[in-house]
Every structure is written in structure tokens, then in C-alpha cells.
Amino acid sequence: MKPWQKFFLLECLLAVMFAAWFTRWYKREPTEPSLTPGAVPSSQPETDRLLAKTPSPVSTPTQSPVPTVIPPPQFNQEQIQEFLVRFALQYGVDVNVLRHLAICESGLIANSTNGVYVGLFQFGPGAWKTSRSAMGEDANLGLRYNAEEATQTAAYAISVGKSYLWPNCYPG
């Protein structure tokens, strides 16, 4: 056996021994503290002595309130087509590009998810927050599921030259 193998086996043996000792030590029964020589036993009843040993209560942190998730409105395909046309006209982008992106990214399914990418246009959290803030709109990530908000944000992003947000689907 090579010297490094002996050393490795010794380390393993010591680790097992320590783990066994620690387990026994951790699970041991608590013992009463022994009286030192010359100490006078307490005249308090046993319950008073035990209460005196009770640790003071520790404040537990309060949990922050969890925001209520409001489900996005459900839109039918006709309404989604209307959003595509309306926002394409508003932001001066080609409606066919918007439609192509929505079909390619989500199959025109507003609540589509793929990892961190969400919604009709599969916005990631960073792109959504950046675009929505630049638009002066609410950057709540839950709005990515709203077909109307997502279409408006996609049209805006394309109008300001952010077609790179869709590297696999943007036509061109």
C-alpha cells in the first residue's frame, strides 16, 4: 500500500470516529450541574429553580406580507389580433413582425412560460423591467402574462431598436 493510501485510510477512520463521538455527544441527556464542594443547596422549590434556568423569550422575526397575485385577464385570439394591430400602428412597427414574434415565441398563448421567459413575447425579467421603465409604465413582472401589456411592450421595444431581445424569432 502506498503512503498516500495509508494516510487517506487514517483520515477516513478518524472522520468516522469523530462522527460517532459527535452523534453520541449531541444526543446525550442533559445533566444537572453538579454542586461544587461547599455549595449550599437552594431552598427554592424545584419548579422555581427550573424556571430560573428558563431562557428569556427570543423575538421571532415577522414575515413580510406576500403580495396577492392577481390573475391576468384572459383574451381571445381576436382580441390579441386587435392588440397587435393597435400597438403596431401606435409605435410605427410592422404588424406582421409583431404577429410573427408572438407566434414564434409563444404560439399566441399569453400565459406561456419557458424558464424565466414569460408571456406572449417571452420577456425575461430584466428586459421587461428595462422596457417598461423606459415607457413609464408599471414594471410588475406579473404583467408579462397580460397579452395587452406584453404586446404594447414588444411594439415599444421594436420601435426603439431592441429587436435583439428576440434573437431566434425576429425576422430579418
Sorted by where each starts, the structural domains of the chain and their CATH numbers stand as 77-165 (1.10.530.10)
User: What is the three-class DSSP state of 99?
Assistant: helix
Q: What is the pLDDT of residues 10-64, one digit of tens each?
A: 676 666 676 666 667 666 665 555 555 555 555 555 656 555 555 666 667 777 6
Nearest C-alpha neighbor of 153 from the set 170, 133, 167: 133
- What are the angstrom distances between the C-alpha of 51 and each of 33, 46, 119? 15, 9, 59
Count CB-CB contacts under 10 A for residue 79: 14
Q: Which residue has the higher pLDDT, 118 or 55?
A: 118
- Hey, how many other C-beta atoms are within 10 angstroms of the C-beta on 166? 21
- pTM assigned to the model: 0.60
